[in-house]
Amino acid sequence: MNDPVAAYFERLPQIYKCQFVQRASGANFCFQKRLTLACELAGASVGRLLDCAAGTGEITCALLKSGRFSHATVVDISPAMLQSANELLSAQITNTELEFVRSDVFTFKPSDSSFDLILCLGLIAHVGRLDILLPHLKSMLAPAGRIMLQTTLTDHIGGRIVRAVTAQRELARRGYRISWFSQRDIADACHGAGLRIVEMRRHSLGIPFGDRLWPWQHPHQTPQSRLLIKPPAAFCCARLSR
């Protein structure tokens, strides 16, 4: 596999999906919070859903269980992640027409480009190029459609420390550099693409060192993961500006 991002995620489905089923802890707090906030921010959307990097599909599944979406197109560049999403959604979702597409989101061209909600969660750290991605996502939106974008922000000092401390290790582990964004970067990219941010949620880990302070609450954690500092993440929900 030539794409280092796809190659990295190809090894991950078993580990990745556990983040959504285990009891909340410092290590999986962000994943479970992401799912909760995605459901909250998607509350006003109905119709056709596009998840442009669905991973193992837990968030897509939670949204489709609302019954508000008649159709869902599930895209991912990693065959193994997409296969895991396919197994989950085919077993759990019965009232939505499902389509699974293995594709790089940057080259993905749907036959019907009018999605009411486009999910872009946990993707931009791995691909960057927001200036290309956002206009592409916008081109697939229905007139009143929304894009939900999630990223970790560098505005907080904790985020900048994590970036500085982990950059080399992450590059060696993944084979590619993680992209980081500030709230200003996101706002500028939306503006450049003709998108307006209509709603935003930010969250951070309430007790950053909770795993260390109360390890008996997190029995499955390794000592290393108890040392993690979680930077604040942000959800942006953007829709076409008028």
Which range, of 64-72, 117-125, 195-203, 213-221, touches ligand SAM by CB under 6 A? Answer: 117-125
Regarding 74 and contact with ligand SAM (CB under 6 A), the answer is no
**122 touches ligand SAM by CB under 6 A:** yes
User: How many CB atoms sit inside 10 A of residue 51's CB?
Assistant: 29
Q: Degrees (nearest 5) of the Cα angle 29, 89, 34?
A: 20
**Secondary structure element (H or E) that encloses residue 239, with its range:** strand 233-240
The answer to whether residue 126 forms part of the interface with ligand SAM (CB under 6 A) is yes
Residue 14 tokens read as 């078993």
Least Å distance between CB 24 and ligand SAM?
15
Write out the binding residues for ligand SAM, residues 96-115 only, by CB under 6 A: 104-106
Tell me which residue has tokens 């939670």. 62
Q: Which of 93, 121, 153, 162 binds ligand SAM (CB under 6 A)?
A: 121
Q: Shortest distance, CB of residue 6 to ligand SAM, whole angstroms?
A: 6
5 near ligand SAM, judged by CB under 6 A: yes
Closest to ligand SAM by CB, 83 vs 209, is 83
Written as six digits, the tokens of 54 are: 């669905």
Q: Degrees (nearest 5) of the Cα angle 191, 148, 211?
A: 115
